[in-house]
Structure 1
Amino acid sequence: MAQIKFIARGNSNQKEIYLRLSAGRAINIKRKTGYSIDKTLWKFTKASKGANKGKLTEFGEPKQTDAIGKQLKEQLDSLATEINKRYNEATEKGTTINGNWLDEQIRDLQNRTSTEEQDKSDLITYLQYYIEYLPSHIKKNGQRGLSKNTIQKFNNLKNRFADFQKAKRTRFNLADITPDLIAQFDKYLRKNGYSDNYIGTLTKDIKTLGKHARKEGFKVSSQLDYITAVKAETYKVILTLDELEKIKNTTFERDALDNARDWLLIGCFIGQRVSDLLRLTADNVVSKGGLLMLELTQQKTGNKVILPLQDQVQEILQKRSGQFPRKISDQKFNTYIKELCKQAEIKTPTKGTIKQEVKINNKKTFRNVTGVFPKHELITSHICRRSFATNYYGDIPTPLLMSATGHTTENKFLIYIGKSATDQAHQLAEYWAKLSAMNKKETNLKVVKKAN
C-alpha cells in the first residue's frame, strides 16, 4: 500500500510543497505539487521513531488557522486521494511507478482541475478573482465582506495596471511583483500625472494582492516583502467649532442645502464615516439611564458604537420633529456641502488637494492637484469624522474619541488628526502647568486654613 506525505522545501521563507509517494523499499519518489506556502503557515510534524524521534521533520501540512490554510489542506488531501487511486490502478496494470509517472499524474490532475488556477497567475486575471472574492472575505471581527470603497480601490488598481501593461506591451504574472516592477509602474503613473498619494495607495494594494496570492499557494517573488510605498504628505482639512457655528447660523434658500447642512453638523458632532452617517434614522436613537444615546453598528468595522446625543444634534432632531434629515446619496452630499460652505463664506486659504482638469500627453483629463485654495473647495464628506476627532482632542480622553471614530491604536489616531510628537509634548506641558497651578492653589489654601 502506498503512503503519501507532503514536504515543504526551499531556502527562502516561501516553501515549495512536494508530494512524496512511498511503497515499501522499492518506491520513494517526490515531485512538486505546484503549490507553495509561507514557512510560518506550515505545520512541520515530529518524527515518531528512530534516531530523530521528537525532532521536526520536513513533512507536515498547512496550519488550519484561517480559511486559506483550510482550503490548501483540502486541495492537498484531494490530490493525495487521487494519486493513491491512480497508483492502485497503475499497479494492477503492471505500470512502472517512478518519478516521471508521478510527475505526469500530478500535472494531469492539476491541469484538469485547475486550468483556471494556472490562468490566475496572470496578474490582471488574479486581480479580477480577488475583486470577486472581497465581498465574501471574513474580517477579524467575524463580519463578512469589505466596504464598497475597498473594492473600488482594487478596481482602480486593475484599471491602472491594465493601462500600464498596454503601454509596456506585455503582460505580467504574480511572480513579477518585485520592487523593480513597482519602480516601472511608479514611473509610468508619475508620467501620467498621478499624485504620490495615489501612487502610494496603488503600491500598497498591489503588495496586498501579492500576499494574498502567496497564501493561496501561488508562486510569488521572494522580493515581495521588500516593496515599499512612497509616502506622500496628507493635508488635514477640518471645520473648526467657530466655522461650524457660522454654518449653523447661515440661511440657505435651497432646501437641499439646508438638509445637507444638518447632515454635515450632525456628522461633525458624532464623528462617524459618511457610510454610517447617512444611514441614521430615528430608530438609532435610544434612551439609556435617562440619557438619549445614538446606537449604530459601523459598516466598515462591524463595531457597535453608542454615543451620547449632543445638544447640537438634539436641537437638529427637535427641529425635524425627532427625525434625521432627508436621505441623500454620498455624491450629492459631497456636492451640497461644498456649495453650502461657499455660501457660509468658509474661505480661509488652506493647503490641500482638489481634482482639476489638466493636460497630460496633449490630452485633457482630471488629476488631483495640490495647492492653496479657499477652504470650501476642499470640503468633502470625510471632513465630518476628522473635524470631530480634531476639535475634541485634548478635551475628551483619547480612548473615548477612538471608540467613537473606530481607530484601533492611538498612534493611528494621532496620525489621522495630524498630531506630531511636538504637539503631544506641548499638550503634556500644558497638563503639567495646570497640575502645578492646582498644587499651588491647594498649598495656599492649607496655609490660609492654618493661619486661622
Structure 2
Amino acid sequence: MATVNFLYRSKKDEAPLNVRLLYRVIENDNYKDYVLGAKTQFTVSKHYWTKEHSLKRVRDIEIANKQTEVNTELNKLENHILNAFSNIQNTTINKTWLQSTIDNYYNPVESKSIPTDLISFIDYYSENRKDEVSIVSIRKFNVIKHKMQRLQEYRGKTILLSEIGEDFKEEFKKYYQSENYAQNTTQRELGIIKTFCKEAHRKGLVINKELDSLKLKPEKTKPLYLNFKELAQIEKTKNLAEHLENARDWLIISCYTGQRISDFLRFNKDMIRVEKGKSLLEFKQQKTQKLMTIPLHEKVLSILDKRSGDFPRAISDQKYNDYIKQVCEKSKLKQVVMGKKQTNIEKDNKKPAKIRNVSGTFEKWELVTSHIGRRSFATNFYGQIPTNYLIYVTGHSSESLFLKYIGKSNKDIAMELTKYF
C-alpha cells in the first residue's frame, strides 16, 4: 500500500512542488514504514499553495479554475507514480527510482514494441536483461524457447502471454510428459515462464489472472554426493592418466570450495591472497556476479603445493564431466544406487538423439556430474560449519532452499537439534 503527498518546501515565492511517497512493507513478520522524497517539475506560487489550494466552496472563479488545473495535473502524476510503484520490486525502490519515475512522467522514454506472444517475449526478455543475468541463464531461456517453438508447432497456434493460465499449464504438462521430460524439469521451466509473464505485466501487458496460482509439484529425489570416505578413496587412486589426474584434482577442489563448474574451472593462482597467514580465494561468480572471498581448505592447498602453486590445467565442461566419471569408476565407486542418468531415448537411429534423464539403478560412478562437488561440499560440512557460513559459500538465497538442496527433512533437522538438548 502506498500514498503520494505533494508539498511546497521552498522559501521562494514560486517553486516546483515536492513529492512524498509513503509505503509500508512486511519485514520479518512486522510492518515497516518508508518515506521517500523527490522534486516535480510542476511550479506553483507559495501564496496559492498555502492560502488558496485547500479552500472549500470557492466562489472566486479564478481560484476555482486554478484548483481544477492543479488537481488535474497532480492526479495524473500521482497515478503515474502509483502505477510504477505497483509494477516494481520493493528492493529496487529508493529516492533515485522515485526521481527517475517523475522525470519519466515529464519526458517519457520511447520504448520498442513489447511482444505479446511467449516466444518473441523470451527474446525480448533476454535482450533487455542481458546485463543483469548470467550467460548460463540466457542459455536456459533459449532452451525453453526452442521447446515452446516445438509446442507451438504441435498445437498449431501461437502461445500468447495472456493465455498462460490453468488450461495452458495442463497442455504444457502433457506435452512435456509426451516428450519424456522429467517432472522437475517441467516444474522448473513452468516457473521460468511465469517469470516471463510477470515481467510482461510490469511492462504493461495483460496477463492471465490465473498466473499466480499455476503450480506443479516437484518430484522428490535423493541428492547424490560424495562423502568424505569416498573422497579419500578418490584421492588415493593411483596410476591415473595425466588427463584423469588433472580432472581428479579439479573434482577434489570443487568438493572443498562448493562452487559451480562455471566458477571453479576458472580458478587461477592470481585469485589467491594471503591474509594473517590464511590463504583466501577471491573471484566473481559468473551466475550471480557476486564478489566472493572464501578460505582455501587444506585439501585444496595440498593440490596447489603439488602443482607448484598452480591450479590444475583448465579443461572444457564436457571433458570434465566425462573424465570425472572415469576417475570415479577407477576409484571403484560401484555401489548400486537409485538416480537419473542422461540417456538417448530415441530408438530410431536415423532421427536426432533425444537426451533425457532416465530414472533407474546404476553404479554410482555413472551418475557423477560436475554438480556433485557443490552438493558434496554443502552436505558433508552441514552440521560441522554453521549453516549461515555454508550458505554464504554456496550462494543460496535462504536457509530453506539450502536445506532442500541437501535433502534435509524436518526429521533430519530435529535430530540435529538433539545435539543441543
How high is the TM-score relative to the length of structure 1? 0.70
CA–CA distance in structure 1, aligned partners of residues 372 and 97 of structure 2: 37
Q: 1:228 to 1:289 in 2, by over 3 A?
A: same
Q: Which residue of 1 aligns with 2:144?
A: 157
How far the C-alpha of 1:206 sits from its partner, in A, is 0.7
Q: Which residue of 1 aligns with 2:358?
A: 369
Contact 2:134-2:288 within 8 A present in 1 as well: no
SS of the residue corresponding to residue 217 of structure 2 reads coil
CA–CA distance in structure 2, aligned partners of residues 73 and 152 of structure 1: 36
Q: Which residue of 1 aligns with 2:248?
A: 261
Q: Aligned partner of 1:388: which letter?
A: F
Residue 162 of structure 2 corresponds to residue 181 of structure 1: no
SS of the residue corresponding to residue 292 of structure 2 reads strand
Residue 413 of structure 2 corresponds to residue 424 of structure 1: yes
Contact 1:349-1:375 within 8 A present in 2 as well: yes
Contact 1:268-1:384 within 8 A present in 2 as well: yes
Q: Aligned partner of 1:393: which letter?
A: Y
- Equivalent residue for 2:398, pick from 386, 409, 416: 409
Match runs of 1:8-407 below 5 Å: 49=54, 60-62=79-81, 63=84, 65=92, 77=106, 117=113, 120-137=115-132, 146-359=133-346, 365-407=354-396
Deviations 1:233-292 (A, max 9, x none): 233100111111111111244211100000000110111111111111111221111222
Q: 1:50 to 1:180 in 2, by over 3 A?
A: farther
CA–CA distance in structure 2, aligned partners of residues 298 and 216 of structure 1: 29
Contact 1:72-1:217 within 8 A present in 2 as well: no
CA–CA distance in structure 2, aligned partners of residues 176 and 74 of structure 1: 34
Q: 1:193 to 1:74 in 2, by over 3 A?
A: farther
CA–CA distance in structure 2, aligned partners of residues 49 and 233 of structure 1: 63
SS of the residue corresponding to residue 130 of structure 2 reads helix
CA–CA distance in structure 2, aligned partners of residues 122 and 428 of structure 1: 50
How far the C-alpha of 1:73 sits from its partner, in A, is 7.0
Q: Aligned partner of 1:269: which letter?
A: Y
How far the C-alpha of 1:414 sits from its partner, in A, is 0.8
Aligned residue pairs total 347
Q: 1:241 to 1:220 in 2, by over 3 A?
A: same
Deviations 1:46-103 (A, max 9, x none): xx6477999x968511436569999987776557x9xxxxxxxxxxxxxxxxxxxxxx
Unaligned 5+ residue runs, structure 1? Answer: 1-12, 14-39, 82-112, 138-145, 433-452
Deviations 1:381-415 (A, max 9, x none): 11111101111111111112112111232111111
SS of the residue corresponding to residue 294 of structure 1 reads strand
CA–CA distance in structure 2, aligned partners of residues 225 and 411 of structure 1: 21
CA–CA distance in structure 1, aligned partners of residues 387 and 362 of structure 2: 31
Contact 1:259-1:326 within 8 A present in 2 as well: yes
CA–CA distance in structure 1, aligned partners of residues 364 and 222 of structure 2: 12
How far the C-alpha of 1:360 sits from its partner, in A, is 7.7
Q: Aligned partner of 1:371: which letter?
A: G
Q: Aligned partner of 1:344: which letter?
A: S
Q: Aligned partner of 2:403: which letter?
A: L
SS of the residue corresponding to residue 128 of structure 2 reads helix
Contact 2:136-2:287 within 8 A present in 1 as well: no
CA–CA distance in structure 1, aligned partners of residues 297 and 366 of structure 2: 28
Contact 1:68-1:216 within 8 A present in 2 as well: no
CA–CA distance in structure 2, aligned partners of residues 355 and 273 of structure 1: 19
SS of the residue corresponding to residue 383 of structure 2 reads coil
CA–CA distance in structure 2, aligned partners of residues 69 and 126 of structure 1: 27
Q: Aligned partner of 1:400: which letter?
A: Y
Deviations 1:346-389 (A, max 9, x none): 12212211111224899662221111211111111111111011
SS of the residue corresponding to residue 80 of structure 2 reads strand
How far the C-alpha of 1:295 sits from its partner, in A, is 2.3
CA–CA distance in structure 1, aligned partners of residues 55 and 143 of structure 2: 56
SS of the residue corresponding to residue 199 of structure 2 reads helix
How high is the TM-score relative to the length of structure 2? 0.75
Give % identity.
Answer: 37
Q: Which residue of 2 aligns with 1:19?
A: none
Q: Aligned partner of 2:118: which letter?
A: L
Q: Aligned partner of 2:117: which letter?
A: D
Q: 1:387 to 1:305 in 2, by over 3 A?
A: same
Q: Which residue of 1 aligns with 2:60?
A: none
Deviations 1:203-249 (A, max 9, x none): 00110000000001112122221211331223310011111111111
Unaligned 5+ residue runs, structure 2? Answer: 2-24, 26-35, 41-52, 58-66, 86-91
Of 261-270 and 304-313, more deviation after overlay is shown by 304-313
Contact 1:186-1:199 within 8 A present in 2 as well: yes
SS of the residue corresponding to residue 61 of structure 1 reads helix
Q: 1:307 to 1:366 in 2, by over 3 A?
A: closer
CA–CA distance in structure 2, aligned partners of residues 70 and 370 of structure 1: 54
Contact 1:272-1:405 within 8 A present in 2 as well: yes
